Amino acid sequence: MIKGVNSAPKQPIKQVSVSPSSTFLIKTQTEKPEKNKAKGNKSSKVTHAAMQDASINTPNTKSHITVLLDEAVDALAIKPSGTYVDGTFGRGGHSKKILGQLGVQGRLIAFDKDLAAVAAGESINDLRFTMVHSHFAGMQKALASLDVLKVDGILLDLGISSPQIDEPSRGFSFRFDAPLDMRMDQSCGQTAAEYLATVTEQNLAEVIKNYGEERFAKQIARAIITERNDGRTITTTGQLTSVVAGAITRFEPGQNPATRTFQALRIFVNKELEELSLTMPQCLALLAPKGRLAVISFHSLEDRMVKQFIRHQENTDNLPANFPVRAADLPQPKLISIGRAVKPSIEEVKHNVRSRSAVLRVAERTLVA
């Protein structure tokens, strides 16, 4: 998930409190889009940036290569007058493509919990566009505050973005020696360093094993806790990388020994899998009939959750085998899969090696309530 935008005069920000634990920052302007009665999408009290050009540029386009750009947006089957959600704005690559296909009556609401991504979204001058500072698990409440009850498509581009990886101060990469932060939303929450300062060896081993799928999880956890007990609290990415490398005797060729540990801590600190599990049912509730859900995953844990959710909504018949029931009375699916899982082409991977693990899954909402 790698997206890019250019700077422009910032618009005022309106803060909307949805719950004690969820605060949404929504970009505003005085002019309002037209009412969309079909989607329960009234002119919102929270207004949007003036519509100009759907193009979004960036001064650092080489570092922001959107993964599966055409495939993901094509999967949404954009209706010019439709309402769409980009659940992971990043640097705006997918949003740019969606806006380019929307008509004057169309609407796009983008979410991101990363403050740098939100700042990038503020630069978009387009009446049809709304930028929301929130994790996508707060999607339904935030959309309700905008009087949006149903949407025609939702795009989720999961995982971490290149700007996050490439900025040393974020603490996501073992390529730099920097503070061990790893928070996608640096305005709140516990850093990875703070977590390592208090976690027990058993809990740490479980996190590294379950979220990093690391077979040496126990050895790594023991080494980290030993380092802490010896008075050498791990506070930087360089320290963590060194400790993990010393604890592992065998690792995959061409892969840094700390790769899986960094993944595990990032997923845990940001509650990525928990948020995804909360978001998928919201997507189902928000999609209008024939609305599309497109999800790009980058590792097996999240892809498995997406695949199983779609499959469960597609195969709702839980009756015992040979149970006597009329076909008309069988439970009907709420989602249907659209095509097979899509992976980046050889050409895309050649130009953007970070796209190699991406998997796109697409589903369509049925008429079943």
d(CA 28, CA 11): 6
Average pLDDT over residues 309-326: 78
Q: Are residues 352 and 250 in the same domain?
A: no
Average pLDDT over residues 204-216: 97
Q: What is the pLDDT of residue 23?
A: 52
Domain boundary among 269, 287, 313: 269
In a domain, 6, yes or no: no
Whose tokens are 């991977």? That residue is: 349
Q: Are residues 142 and 191 in the same domain?
A: no
d(CA 235, CA 180): 6
> How many structural domains does the chain have?
2
Give the pLDDT band of residue 13 (cuts 50, 70, 90).
Answer: very low
Q: What is the pLDDT of residue 67?
A: 96
In a domain, 79, yes or no: yes
Residue 43 has pLDDT above 70, yes or no: no
Give the pLDDT band of residue 251 (cuts 50, 70, 90).
Answer: confident
Q: Are residues 17 and 156 in the same domain?
A: yes
Q: Are residues 53 and 152 in the same domain?
A: yes
Q: Are residues 118 and 46 in the same domain?
A: yes
Range 232-235 contact pairs with CB under 8 angstroms and sequence separation of 24 or more: 233/193, 233/196, 233/197, 234/180, 234/193, 234/196, 234/197, 235/179, 235/180, 235/193
Q: Are residues 277 and 265 in the same domain?
A: no
Give the pLDDT band of residue 327 (cuts 50, 70, 90).
Answer: low
Q: Are residues 193 and 140 in the same domain?
A: no
In a domain, 4, yes or no: no
List phi, psi (to 5°) of 129.
Answer: -115, 135
Residue 44 has pLDDT above 50, yes or no: no
CATH number of the domain enclosing 25: 3.40.50.150
d(CA 10, CA 32): 17
Q: Are residues 23 and 121 in the same domain?
A: yes
Residues 51-76 pLDDT 10s: 333 333 333 434 678 999 999 999 99
Average pLDDT over residues 334-363: 96
Q: Are residues 153 and 75 in the same domain?
A: yes
d(CA 346, CA 72): 17
Measured in whole angstroms, the distance separating CA 144 from the mean position of its chain's CA atoms is: 20
In a domain, 168, yes or no: no
Q: What is the pLDDT of residue 38?
A: 42
In a domain, 170, yes or no: no
Q: Are residues 19 and 139 in the same domain?
A: yes
Residue 219 has pLDDT above 90, yes or no: yes
In a domain, 175, yes or no: no
Domain boundary among 238, 269, 300: 269
Tokens coding 82: 């439709």
Q: Are residues 39 and 150 in the same domain?
A: yes
Q: What is the pLDDT of residue 313?
A: 95
Tell me the pTM. 0.82
In a domain, 178, yes or no: no
Q: What is the pLDDT of residue 39?
A: 43
Residue 11 has pLDDT above 50, yes or no: no
Q: Which of 161-165, 171-175, 279-283 has the highest mean pLDDT?
A: 279-283
User: In which domain, by residue range, is 122 found?
Assistant: 13-162+273-365
In a domain, 132, yes or no: yes
Q: Are residues 130 and 19 in the same domain?
A: yes
Residues 290-308 pLDDT 10s: 999 999 999 999 999 999 9
Tokens coding 281: 């049912």
User: Over the chain, what is the mean pLDDT?
Assistant: 85
CATH number of the domain enclosing 212: 1.10.150.170
Domain boundary among 234, 250, 269: 269
Residues 24-42 pLDDT 10s: 667 544 344 444 444 444 3
Q: What one-letter code names the amino acid at 193?
A: A
